[in-house]
Amino acid sequence: MDILACPVCKHHPLELKIDKEDAKEVLAGSIRCAKCKIDYPIEDGIPNMLPPGT
Amino acid sequence: MGLVWLTIAHMEGIYRMNELVCMVITEVSPLSNDHEKRVKSEDVEESQIREAVRKRYRALAEQETSCCGPKVNTMCGCSTIYSDSDVASLPSDAAAVSAGCGNPTAIADLKSGMTVVDLGSGGGIDVFLSAKKVGPTGRAIGIDATPEMIVRARRTAKENGFDNVEFRLGEIEHIPLQDSSADVVISNCVINLSPFKQQVFNEAFRILKPGGRLAVSDIILLRELPDELKTNLAAWSSCVSGAVSEEDYIGGMKLAGFVNIKVQDKVIYTYEQMRAYVPDVQTSLSLAPPDNNIIKVSQGTDLSNMIASYRIIAEKP
């Protein structure tokens, strides 16, 4: 999270929302860009940082 | 992670897609300066290229083993582009799905503590090599748009105890990293796959710190492709049709703001190496898959000296 930025507007930092986690990583949740109001989902521990619609 | 051998298993879906787009991009000349603009102007084409590339590398990600044993599997067969010591230090799972055309970490001058970003990291081979070079105080981050590759690379990292690597699902045209965050950006035979190469160079420039370096291996077009190849998505995802000339490639780097751009070395592909992609249907070599699954070019077409693998370094001032 220290280095992640919104792939669309490059805003940093992003907001992390945790739905499920283990000792090492967030398993489910989302990463939100407050500037463009986009939520990037985290599924199976992998944030999907692809621009929406691709 | 750009280059892979054409195999029927990998390519069936792409060939079907290819039929859909042949008509759309027939007029595009890879040597033309407005190549990108013309491709970009039709969103449908761009999305089809992107899907073809992802499909191709999804299939590669699901490949279990390499035919190359302890060597690295690349377009050029069981490759010698990585040194024996590099290969020996690698997780075998990463080497099995490598699809590079060079070894950018060898020219990247990586040092302990650096942050390295690999554009199109695939199975992670160059990320793992980088991670070893930057050590525990550094970090190596792979960006790839194929979820299956990210899953595979993360699994390899976990199984082999790499603590200083990350793999991020993202596009190299829209890198999900903040400005001035990387000391070095590397890429191995991937930028040619993008229909938006200028955007990739711009993004690489953005995420580099001032004084940071770009070190790439990539396919460069040496002369105009036969028409059959220009229009072929399978050839695009094989790192052939998306390739541009040295002038256009380096011009894109300059336009992004890079300076001190140097071609470190190049390997010009022979007729036999090109035939791995583009078998001539009029002759029958063992490399050629069945007729309905090959890229057809006219008999007598000279495929030698058409593409080359370049290693290029550049700096952000």
Interface test with B, best of A4, A6, A9, A27 (most B CBs within 10 A): A4
What is the rounded CA–CA span in Å between residue B198 and residue B254?
10
Residue B238 confidence (pLDDT): 63
B179–A5 C-beta distance less than 8 A: yes
pLDDT for A33 beyond 60: yes
By a Cβ cutoff of 8 Å, what residues of chain B touch chain A? Answer: 47, 50, 115, 141, 145, 147, 150-151, 154, 168-171, 174-179, 181, 206
Kindly report the nearest CA distance between residue B195 and chain A, in angstroms.
Answer: 14
The number of C-beta contacts closer than 8 angstroms across A and B is 52
Residue B80 confidence (pLDDT): 52
Give yes or no for A27 touching B (CB within 8 A): no
Taking only the tens of pLDDT, chain B with its 317 residues reads: 554 433 322 332 222 222 222 222 222 333 344 445 433 433 447 777 777 777 777 777 766 544 333 344 444 334 456 677 777 777 766 665 555 677 888 888 999 999 999 999 988 989 999 999 999 999 999 999 999 999 999 999 999 999 999 999 999 999 999 999 999 999 998 898 888 999 999 999 999 999 999 999 998 989 887 776 776 666 666 667 788 899 999 999 999 999 999 999 888 887 777 666 554 433 333 233 333 445 556 666 677 788 888 999 999 99
Topology annotation, domain B8-315 = Rossmann fold (3.40.50)
SS (H, E, C) chain B: CCCCCCCHHHHHHHHHHHHHHHHHHCCCCCCCCCHHHHHHCCHHHHHHHHHHHHHHHHHHHCCCCCCCCCCEEECCEEECCCCHHHHHCCCHHHHHCCCCCCCHHHCCCCCCCCEEEEECCCCCHHHHHHHHHHCCCCEEEEEECCHHHHHHHHHHHHHCCCCCEEEEECECCECCECCCCEEEEEEECCHHHCCCHHHHHHHHHHHEEEEEEEEEEEEEECCCCCHHHHCCHHHHHCCCCCCCEHHHHHHHHHHHCCEEEEEEEEEECCHHHHHCCCCCCCCCCCCCCCHHHCCCCCCCCCCCCCEEEEEEEEECC
Six token digits for residue A46: 């992998």
Q: Which residues of A touch B154 (CB under 8 A)?
A: 45-46
Q: Which residue of A has its CA nearest to B148?
A: A46
Per the CB < 8 A criterion, the answer to whether B239 and B2 are in contact is yes
What is the rounded CA–CA span in Å between residue B91 and residue B67?
15
Residue B64 confidence (pLDDT): 52
- Residue A46: which of B169, B176, B206 has the nearest Cβ? B169
Q: Which residue of A has its CA nearest to B49?
A: A54
Q: Where are the domains of chain B?
A: 8-315
Q: Which residue of A has its CA nearest to B181?
A: A3
Q: Hey, is A28 helix, strand or coil?
A: strand
What is the rounded CA–CA span in Å between residue B161 and residue B154?
10
